[in-house]
Structure 1
């Protein structure tokens, strides 16, 4: 993704109009491929990565910034399309966002998720989308992920090198409602209907009811028939260590315990 072409500005404009290109290069990796959520009259800059509750965060951001009243009814795809059309792909978006980050004009938050839960979600999403070999187990998936580093950015760790230089606060998905209410109170924002904003057909949690040993169980697109093992069921000692190794930086930076799945 070319940040300059998407934002409608050339590198020369970025360098002379607002700040030095060297400064911009210091944070460029934080702005792609998933630009943080930013609006001129909104007090926060919100960082996110896939499979960490990002669509709910997007709906909340759009709700707070006067998006259509039916934002709660938008599909995940519609939410992300609306974000691109109304925000990230508009001329000047990247330039203004980078300037605010470098000059710390707004408070920066990042939504993060327990790596143990996220790893299972990554696996199930890949299976349901047919993106991995039929019959692969969770543990085989982890070994492939460890070997490849990441199949794509969706499957990469949440931590992005250098984020601690600009991100001041973290929103933990496991305590999303409480954290969002604190933010709404602190910045005098509208109290959003979080239960409606969080509804998504892509959430697996409502179907994860089976308690069985599943770390080595072969899974295909038709295997679980929407009755899925609980996320803890995918872990044995070996799978736990694999996730702790693959997502080591996530555990370190965000304070999750790599030794306890629950």
Structure 2
């Protein structure tokens, strides 16, 4: 019972992707490439048509409201994790780039930006965003994992392997070969309205610039444009555990 209670704290923030006849269990967290991972998992399990039919193609709604609500899903997942019956992987991302992605998601979302006592019309700067997270300390993870750490306390007890978003294509191909899975159309699966990278073309110094969606008009600053010595140090401190556990270099944004 103690083991089950501990495991629940690891898997409850975001339920891992699991299927009885699929050889691996996939852990994930928001703003770390989770959309493509969900698409890949449902492709491998022949469920993309079901996603389209039942959730209008939204893999997150399908996973949350349909797929993980099937009978005995949580029980079977918990049993297989405790008994170590399947290999486990987690998709992770460079904390520097994820912090910017979380910030952009925040200024676009009424639900997220209100956590900073702002709204989408008043906006927020990246440095203000980071100082708020810094002041919250460990409480940041209880607010919303879109802006909290990727690391979940105790995950190393069940997660054996990491997929790095920056190397995802090559690692996914290795996984498909290793487990004799279908060769997926990754370029097609990666197309999503959640992804802003292609729109991030504006260069400059934006660390302290208050931004709103209307001021950006769907042209966003590059990742590097949000960083100066101050914001870099804040990210290093706020997401210290992510850097340590996943082995990312605290000096390099790319």
Distance 2:83 2:56 in 1: 32
1:145 corresponds to which residue? Answer: 133
Q: 2: distance between equivalents of 1:75 and 1:22?
A: 36
Matched, 1:27 2:19: no
Distance 1:139 1:53 in 2: 24
Counterpart contact for 1:75–1:200, Cα < 8 Å: no
Report SS of the residue matched to 2:146: helix
> What is aligned with 1:95?
75
1:126-156 superposed Cα distances (whole Å, 9 cap, x missing partner): 1011332223210110001111232422211
Residues 158-207 of structure 1 show CA distances to partners (whole Å, capped at 9, x for unaligned) of 00011111100000111111110000000000000001111111211011
Q: Distance in 1 between matches of 2:93 and 2:43?
A: 22
> Judging changes above 3 Å, is the alpha-carbon distance between structure 1 residues 211 and 66 closer, same or farther for their aligned structure 2 residues?
same
Q: Secondary structure at the match of 1:240?
A: helix
Are 1:59 and 1:72, in contact at CA under 8 Å, matched by a contact in 2? no
* Contact preservation (8 Å) 1:59, 1:71: no
Match of 2:241 among 225, 232, 249: 249
Aligned length: 242
What pairs with 1:138-177 in structure 2 (closer than 5 Å)? Answer: 138-149=126-137, 150=140, 151-177=143-169
> Which stretch has the larger CA shift, 103-112 or 121-130?
121-130
**Residue ranges of structure 2 left out of the alignment (5+ in a row):** none
CA distance, structure 2, for counterparts of residue 74 and residue 211 of structure 1: 41
- Structure 1 residue ranges, 4+ long, deviating more than 6 angstroms after superposition: 72-77
Aligned residues of 1:44 and 1:106 also touching (Cα < 8 A): yes
Q: Is the 8 A contact 1:38 1:44 kept in 2?
A: yes
Matched, 1:118 2:98: yes
The runs of 5 or more residues in structure 1 that have no matched partner are 1-20
Instruction: State whether structure 2 residue 207 is matched by structure 1 residue 215.
Output: yes
How big is the shift at 1:95?
0.8
